Structure 1
Amino acid sequence: MPRGIEIRDAHFPGRAPIDAYGNGGFRFADMSHRGSLLCLPSGIHGWNYPEGGALTVEALSMVLDEADGIEVLLVGTGPEIRPLPQALKAALKARGISSDPMSTGAAVRTYNVMLSESRAVAAALIAV
């Protein structure tokens, strides 16, 4: 019996620079993804982040789950810089992760540089 289309969570099992961003998505590793991304030590994951949603501890739970491999979290907050809520900053700091909010474009550029330097970096990138 045919199963039809199987929808799986978007996941690229490796670390790769972001080649392009805009139009609601990103390009990396000869692929494209529509929507937001979490770039973690375990790979690049589609991030079901609602447009205009709150940056909460729950929204970034995957980052906190992989804290051992992350020293710096770059948060691309969209076209404008948005401060991170105190509860989120505290949860990240408690796991030894420094956080840096910036526009998504700046976060992509900084992530690529830090990745090329083999730094323990992760990024939460809100699509623009």
Structure 2
Amino acid sequence: MRLNEITFTDAKPVEGYGPGFFRIGGDVFHGPLIIGPSGVTAWTGYEDADALLALKDTVDVLFVGTGAETAHLPSQLRRTLEEAGLGVEVMASPAACRTYNVLLSEGRRIALALIPV
């Protein structure tokens, strides 16, 4: 598939990442962040459940990139998100970026919370 054949929704794809940063829609962002229907916002990490809960009515699935390696979410955070009805998929940040881009190209209602690699 040629990448220029993909049509993204209004949300922006992840174009690249590296130590401590992500490139999204042509802009570089440093540190943890959330990419959702309303754009890209800074995220303070696992302690900031409210920022993730704000997505519950606008997305069907939240992908959480846990950095260079897959790690478990803190149990209280996972429980809070699931009790709110927000579907959560956890994986390493590189895999989360790729999965997000594919589903974004399909027009799916998704969001992405990322910890840098």
TM-score category of the 2 structures, normalised to the smaller one: 0.7 to 0.9
Counterpart among 31, 35, 38 of residue 39 in structure 1: 35
Q: Name the CA distance, whole Å, in 2 between partners of 1:106 and 1:40.
A: 17
Which residue type is aligned with residue 46 of structure 1? A
Corresponding residue number in structure 1 for 2:59: 70
For the Cα contact (< 8 Å) 2:43–2:51, is it kept in 1?
no
Corresponding residue number in structure 2 for 1:23: 19
Q: Against the structure 1 CA distance between its residues 91 and 48, is the aligned structure 2 distance closer, same or farther, given a 3 Å change threshold? A: closer
Counterpart among 101, 104, 108 of residue 112 in structure 1: 101
* SS of corresponding position for 1:105: helix
For the Cα contact (< 8 Å) 2:34–2:111, is it kept in 1?
yes
Q: Name the CA distance, whole Å, in 2 between partners of 1:62 and 1:117.
A: 25
Corresponding residue number in structure 2 for 1:87: 76
* Identical-pair percentage: 40
Higher-RCO chain (CA-CA 8 Å, sequence separation at least 6): 2
Alignment root-mean-square deviation, CA: 1.4
Unaligned runs of 5+ in 1: 1-13, 50-54
- 1:5-29 CA distances to partner (integer Å, 9 max, x unpaired)? xxxxxxxxx5100000012101111
Query: Which structure has the greater CA radius of gyration?
Result: 1
Pairs within 5 Å for 1:9-20: 15-20=11-16
Unaligned runs of 5+ in 2: 1-9
TM-score, normalization by structure 1: 0.77
For the Cα contact (< 8 Å) 1:40–1:63, is it kept in 2?
no
4+ residue segments displaced more than 4 Å: none
